[in-house]
Amino acid sequence: MSESVLHPRHRTPPEVRVAVGAAGAVTAAGFCWTLAHGLAQPAAALAFGLLIVLGEVAGDHRAGAAARFPAPLATAGALGYALLAVPAAPAVGAVLEIAAVSFTATVVGAVPQVARGRGPTAEHLVRRVLGAAFAAACCRPLCVGAPDGEGGPPGAPTAGPGYVLALLGVLALTALCDAVLAACLARARTGWPYGPLLRDELRALPGIGSAMCATGVVIALAAQVAGPWALPVLSLPLLLTQVSFRRYAAVRRTYRETIASLARATEMAGFHPPGHVRRVASLSRAIGRVRGLSERELDVLEQAALMYDLGKLSLADPVPAAAGRADRRRIALLGGAVVRQTGVAAEVAVVVERQAEPYRDQPVAARIVRVAAAYDALVAGNAKGEGAVVAGPHAALERLRLAGRAEYDPAVVDALREVLASGAAVN
């Protein structure tokens, strides 16, 4: 679903300015340090830099495609480089050098993506720099007596399972901090509630997030023992996983586009004005965000909103706009039967089938779709010109509020009001 904005924001939120400023300061200091003192480990910096570049080139920064982890291999490379025992003195020099190399490699790897029109966002760069710098700073106490990466002997602090567990602990803490930062940036960018955003970020960590952390530890240890040129072999599994992830994302995009095309059949048949189902789906997803639905629940909600009125296509005779409850019930059941033939999740068909029930008997997703559809019908009318079109959003909200006790869930109407008032991005 393409991203639209109900009320555009003209000012950069302070959270974003602070994060960008911190990442910019760390990067600038890293460049100054590196230019003044040179690279402590040129071979390691080159090897890990190339790994980050490869990961960015193989990544996918398109909206909706692995949005949380668009370049897993590049992230693993940056984390592995952060865990490497860079022998810079003082320790802050190593942290700055790692941040500068990570930023440079990320930008270089993003050039092909930018040329294709889907390069990384500033948020992606901020998270990459701050994540690498944080992991490097936490790892500095563990690097005392570490090998120099150029053939020196390993030190006692880097030997044994305790050291490996310590590295895993550093990356686990880094992943948690990155999830907090990502949720904070998303909250500032979209206006959605912070709690559900953080929950979705944390839920994503056990999957590809754990693979990135494990790969980062493995390549950092291998670089200290076997040299940095062992990285290609050790990074191959994650690279293959990333390629498979891209294919899965492509299939999912095609699946969503197919559903959207099917949903537009009601518009082509004249039941709704152009863009109605897309607006209902976008608005439903935004309301679901405010209501605290999880990412999976939002996907079900969006698909149900796209197909909520498909039952009208199965009618032998047209039904007037002011249809009775029996007719609406028949349309809902027919729509659920059509939806079940598409192969989508059963929860989607249930939401469609229960559109005509009293809202107290409906699941939350069905209540949201009903409110979103009614709101868009009030502000945009319908294709046949039936029904009054109110003056604007506030009048439509008032009409929904007055009818809420009988037709619409007041809590969902309040969530709609919050969406419109906050100017949140509708995804």
Q: What average pLDDT score do residues 243-255 get?
A: 76
State the pLDDT at residue 7. Answer: 40
**Is 96 a member of any domain?**
yes
pLDDT in tens, 334-349: 888 888 887 777 888 8
Does one domain contain both 228 and 271?
Answer: no
Does one domain contain both 182 and 313?
Answer: no
Q: What is the 3-state secondary structure (H, E, C) of the chain?
A: CCCEECCCCCCCCHHHHHHHHHHHHHHHHHHHHHHHHCCCCHHHHHHHHHHHHHHHHHCCCCCCCCCCCCCHHHHHHHHHHHHCCCCCCCHHHHHHHHHHHHHHHHHHHHHHHHHCCCCCCHHHHHHHHHHHHHHHHHHHHHHCCCCCCCCCCCCHHHCCHHHHHHHHHHHHHHHHHHHHHHHHHHHHHHCCCHHHHHHHHHHHHHHHHHHHHHHHHHHHHHHHHHCHHHHHHHHHHHHHHHHHHHHHHHHHHHHHHHHHHHHCHHHHCCCCCCCHHHHHHHHHHHHHHHCCCCHHHHHHHHHHHHCCCHHHHHCCCCCCCCCCHHHHHHHHHHHHHHHHHCCCCHHHHHHHHCCCCCHHHCCHHHHHHHHHHHHHHHHHCCCCCCCCCCCCHHHHHHHHHHCCCCCCCHHHHHHHHHHHHHCCEEC
Please list the residues that pair with 425 across neighbouring strands: 5
State the pLDDT at residue 85. Answer: 66
**Is 259 a member of any domain?**
no
pLDDT in tens, 162-197: 788 888 889 999 999 999 998 888 888 777 778 878
pLDDT in tens, 141-165: 776 544 444 444 343 344 567 788 8
Q: Which of 30-34, 116-120, 241-245 has the highest mean pLDDT?
A: 30-34
Domain that holds residue 280: 264-426
Residue of 243, 171, 219, 214 lying closest to 51 (CA atoms)? 219
Q: How many domains does the chain have?
A: 2
Does one domain contain both 345 and 387?
Answer: yes
Does one domain contain both 203 and 91?
Answer: yes
State the pLDDT at residue 86. Answer: 57
- Residue 42 confidence (pLDDT) above 80: yes
Global pTM? 0.72
**Is 255 a member of any domain?**
no
Does one domain contain both 232 and 324?
Answer: no
**Is 257 a member of any domain?**
no
CATH number for the domain spanning 289: value is 1.10.3210.10
